[in-house]
Structure 1
């Protein structure tokens, strides 16, 4: 037997803002909301499905340094340039962490400054069950 990652919990100042942003980015839907926490995941699967859900919870501690963990996302239905524009339009912003310009990915931040990368490689969307 082994474990499986079922959810990522992200502390933030505004759980609703980040849940809405990441629903737009990932095509997720709200699964649950309780005690200030908002859980989102793939449509039609709910908690415990094949992909981890994201849980945004209220936190007051501001980010002070580089996170030890970040998310990478890959486009599913368009090229990287079109997906970059879609993410920027949704509220992401470009972040300079010392890139050289030769990278095949873009470093972005969500509305609260959490860094994530948009990769070039296009992947197939996971089908809902």
Structure 2
């Protein structure tokens, strides 16, 4: 049996991270079901403290997901979920993801990412294949190639 998965990223600010990564990937922040959230609060399954307003929309405070725009609402969608954790990042990631640029110039993308808060860490190369290892605004490593 093959299983589906989502990538979950610990975050100080899951909504800011979701916004940043949605723009970086050309993905979208998954829409919030405000009526569902209100119903969960009114029925006692959640509290107001578990919600927040982000960009004028009622959302769960502790997490936010992104996915490709053509997969919104699909069960089988690719997905990054950013979730709040109490501690900040202190060491190198044990897992990271590679963003495949599909022919876009990695120097231009690097510059654009740095202007939005990413940090260049190092350049890697194996034979003819080269990449840049970067860190997002919260310090999570990723590569562009």
CA displacement at 1:90 relative to structure 2: 2.4
Q: CA RMSD in A?
A: 2.0
Structural mapping, 1:1-129, within 5 Å: 1-5=1-5, 7-31=6-30, 32=32, 33-46=59-72, 47-50=74-77, 52-76=78-102, 78-96=104-122, 104-119=130-145
Deviating beyond 6 angstroms after TM superposition, the runs of 4 or more aligned structure 1 residues are none
C-alpha change, 1:34 and 1:111, in structure 2 (3 Å) is same
Separation in 2, partners of 1:108, 1:74: 13
Larger fraction in strand: 2
Given that 1:106 and 1:118 are in contact with CA atoms closer than 8 Å, whether structure 2 keeps it comes out as yes
Number of aligned residue pairs: give it.
Answer: 114
**Is the partner of 1:48 in helix, strand or coil?**
coil
Larger Rg: 2
CA displacement at 1:112 relative to structure 2: 0.4
**Is the partner of 1:91 in helix, strand or coil?**
coil
Given that 2:4 and 2:76 are in contact with CA atoms closer than 8 Å, whether structure 1 keeps it comes out as no
CA displacement at 1:22 relative to structure 2: 0.2
- TM-score, normalized by length of structure 1? 0.76
Larger fraction in helix: 2
Unaligned stretches of 5+ residues in structure 2? 33-58
Given that 1:25 and 1:90 are in contact with CA atoms closer than 8 Å, whether structure 2 keeps it comes out as no
Separation in 1, partners of 2:105, 2:94: 28
**Is the partner of 1:87 in helix, strand or coil?**
helix
